[in-house]
Chains A and B, each alone.
Chain A
Amino acid sequence: MNATVDVELAVIGGGPAGLAAATLAAEGGASVLLLDEQASPGGQIYRNIEAVCDRRPAIAAALGDDYRGGLELVRAFRRSGAGYRPRASVWEIAGDGALAVVGDGGAEVLRARRLLVATGAAERPVPVPGWTLPGVMTVGAAQTLLKASGLAAGEAVIAGCGPLVLLFALQSIAVGAPPRAVLLSEGFGDYLRALPHLPRAVGSLDLLAKGWGWLRQLKSSGVEVVTGVSAVAARGGSAVDGVGFITGGGRRDIDAGLLLLHQGLVPNGHLLRAAGCAQEWDPAQACWRTRRNSWGATSRNDIAVAGDCAGIGGALAAAEAGRLSALDALYRLGHIGRAARNGRALPMAAALRRHLRPRPLLEALYRPPAEVLRPTAPDTVVCRCEGVRLAALTELRGLGVPGPNQAKAFSRCGMGPCQGRLCEATVGRLLSDEPPLAGRTPQTYTIRPPARPVTVGQVAALDGLAEPAGEVSGMLDR
């Protein structure tokens, strides 16, 4: 059960980037193992795609062509000969490249000559008052339930901004479960801000047209669509029973048993940060991302990165980035020469550029509002795990706390099981100077393993470790 497996390339994550990379690398002659947390390949974007396309045609039709388009990626992966370990979570990448994995069989340590991290995106946390109430979920969570289990979100209020908000509202209508209302935080100002980016995006007008089309379709469906919404707050006792917000017409309140929030995606890069891969602040996407070159190589020479976990670019861009990283892996592993790598990369790099072209426009249009990035209501829960509210962090500012790590020690904010994934960006902003200095990046937590919880007993039973096993991982503080 705890045997050490040696492969040339381990790919972490079974979404478009990981699937495309594993497929190309395996077809190129490398021994490849893909590790994924889900039970079937596809990632969150193509979640459960084989079963849905096979057995649930109406749901597949509602999810649309972009979803069904992922099936070929999964099929190619299944044919490729790449090893596949579903329901396996990587909880640490050690300093010497050893992968600590936990799955149905317990914990084990795997070794690979190279690693490709393709852990995708997560939805940006939306800390509004009441967001910890049962029944307040993310739009992505509801869409996952539709894909994975054929559950429709009935009578939901959907609030936020970004393409997924419109897409999921339309998908819900298509499966016969229209939302009660869609509350869009974007307003006229966002369109004005996005205008300068339009020329660069002209080559991908189809994608833009799709977005405009979705909005028009939604507005004509009879579902109430409110734009320019702010100050969204969930109310309820043991579960959400309504949502309040402010619109041009003043303060409003709608009854709702399900509130779905979404303010765009951010890289799901915890594992990379814990592994010590250098990060950089992306002001346009308002998030940290892993520094990498055009092959996806990170600051650690045994780790590459591809797809949304390195910066949000969408599924099509992720697959191309995965292929580029796989080509580089084949080169570095000695399966192909430099010229072959570079030659084969040309069309992929061109496709990647094409897929990324509309991003600046989308980022400008769907920028999360300031109140989401830096909430102001004192009773807003910032750290869900430890129940730390904004008022407690304000108190820490008063004590002169210099940043999130001291705040974590003083208040337990970010110290719970999610390891700060849902509060870090908020805390970083709340503790930075007010108003934030131009160009100043929010401070971050020091991330510690395990990236996913593993039991004491599972770790105690680990073998395949030298004595004392592995080099020190994590950061050198100075």
Chain B
Amino acid sequence: MFKRLPEADEATIEFHFDGQAYRAVAGDSLAAALLANGIGQFGRNAADNSPRGPHCMIGNCFDCLVLLADGRTAQACLTPVAAGMRVRPYDPATAGSPE
């Protein structure tokens, strides 16, 4: 999987995914931040519930969807990570509902 190269390792931000705390680098997309922490599955597909993670990283495939704390969906590859951010795996059964 992915590993952060030494000169890019400036992890200072803490964020949460699925209740767990992780560290990220300011400027990371949520997708990069999750992948850097060894998380490859971001959620489940809305139609067939199959496991999904980022595929294209340019906003086209929508397989990197996650749920924000307020229930909104976000494309992790286009969403910057922010300190204190709380994110959940995308799940069609809880999409639209706040934490």
| A touches B (Cβ under 8 A) | yes
CA distance A238 to B89 in the complex (A): 14
Does A122 lie at the interface of the complex (its beta carbon under 8 Å from any beta carbon of B)? yes
Residue of B nearest to A38 (CB): B78
A220 close to chain B: CB less than 8 A: no
Closest to B49 in A: A387
Q: A145-B32, A149-B28 are in contact. Are A421 and B54 (CB under 8 A)?
A: no
Most buried by B among A136, A153, A258, A384: A384
Please report the C-alpha to C-alpha distance between residue A148 and residue B5 in the assembled complex, in whole angstroms.
Answer: 12
Closest 5 CB pairs of A and B: A150-B8, A134-B53, A387-B48, A141-B57, A149-B32
User: B59 touching A123 by the CB < 8 A rule?
Assistant: no
Given A148-B32, A153-B2, A386-B47, residue A134 in contact with residue B52 (CB < 8 A): yes
Cross-chain contact B78 with A422 (CB below 8 angstroms): no
Name the one of B1, B2, B50 contacting A132, with C-beta atoms under 8 angstroms.
B50
Q: Which of A199-207, A272-280, A411-419 contacts B (4 or more CB under 8 A)?
A: A411-419
Complex Cα–Cα for A134 and B38 (A): 12
The one of A39, A58, A144 in contact with B57, judged by C-beta atoms closer than 8 angstroms, is A144
Which residues from chain A contact B80 at a C-beta distance below 8 Å? 39, 87
Q: Are B51 and A238 in contact (CB under 8 A)?
A: yes
Cα(A24)–Cα(B2), bound, Å: 39
Q: B29 is contacted by which of A89, A148, A385, A387 (Cβ under 8 Å)?
A: A148
Do the beta carbons of A140 and B59 come within 8 Å of each other? no
Nearest CB on A from B22, distance (A): 14
Q: Is the CB of B7 within 8 A of A151?
A: no
Verify if B84 is at the interface (C-beta below 8 Å from A): no
A89 to B5, CA, bound (A): 30
Closest beta carbon of chain A to B91's beta carbon, Å: 14
Q: When the two chains form their complex, are residues A239 and B72 in contact, meaning their CB atoms are under 8 A apart? A: no
B8 touches A149 (CB 8 A): yes
Residues from chain A with a CB closer than 8 A to the CB of B2 are 142, 145, 151-154, 258
Chain A positions 109 through 135: 1 when the CB is less than 8 Å from some CB of chain B, otherwise 0: 000000000000011000000011111
Residue-wise, chain A 254-287 has the 8 Å CB interface mask toward B (1 for contact) of 0001100000000010000000000000000000
Query: A149, B29: Cβ atoms under 8 Å?
Result: yes
Contact A151:B4 (CB < 8 A) given known A385-B62, A418-B62 = yes
In the complex, the answer to whether A138 meets B5 with C-beta atoms within 8 Å is no
Which residues of the other chain, B, contact A418 by a CB distance below 8 angstroms?
A: 60-62
- Expressed in whole angstroms, the Cα–Cα distance for A48 and B41 within the complex equals 25
B55:A59 contact, CB within 8 angstroms = no
Nearest-Cβ distance from residue A89 to partner chain B, whole angstroms: 8
Could you tell me the distance between the alpha carbons of A445 and B41 in the complex, rounded to whole angstroms? Answer: 30
Question: Chain B CB within 10 Å — which of A151, A421, A452 has the most?
Answer: A151
Known: A138-B55, A455-B72. A177 touches B3 (CB 8 A): yes
* Interchain nearest-CB distance for A198 vs B (Å): 33
A175-B5 contact in complex given A37-B78, A417-B62, A418-B61, C-beta closer than 8 Å: yes
A150–B55 CB distance below 8 A: no
* A interface, CB within 8 angstroms of B: 37, 39, 44, 48, 51, 55-59, 87, 89, 122-123, 131-138, 140-142, 144-145, 148-155, 175-177, 238-239, 257-258, 268, 384-387, 412, 416-418, 421-422, 452, 455
Q: What residues on B are CB-neighbors of A384 within 8 Å?
A: 45, 55, 61-63
Q: A54: shortest Cβ distance to chain B, in Å? A: 12
Given contacts A135-B1, A239-B41, contact A59 B56 (CB under 8 A): no
> In this complex, what residue of B is CB-closest to A175?
B5
Chain A residues in 8 Å Cβ range of B63: 132, 384
Chain B residue contacts of A149, Cβ below 8 A: 4, 8, 25, 27-29, 32-33, 36
Shortest CB distance A266–B (Å): 11
Asked, given contacts A134-B41, A152-B3, whether A122 binds B60 with beta carbons under 8 Å apart, the answer is yes
A136 to B78, CA, bound (A): 19
- B57, A134: Cβ atoms closer than 8 Å: no
CA distance A144 to B54 in the complex (A): 12
Q: Do A140 and B28 touch across chains, with their CB atoms under 8 A apart? A: no
Q: Taking the complex as formed, is B42 at the interface, i.e. its CB lies under 8 A from any CB of chain A?
A: yes
Contact status B36-A141, CB under 8 Å: no
- Cβ-closest chain A residue relative to B74: A453
**Min CB gap A60→B, angstroms:** 10
- Nearest B residue to A51, CB-CB: B27
Q: Which residue in chain B gives the minimum CB-CB distance to A141? A: B57
B25 to chain A, nearest CB (A): 6
Can you list 8 residue pairs at the A/B interface with Cβ under 8 Å? Answer: A44-B58, A59-B7, A140-B58, A145-B2, A149-B33, A151-B3, A239-B41, A417-B65
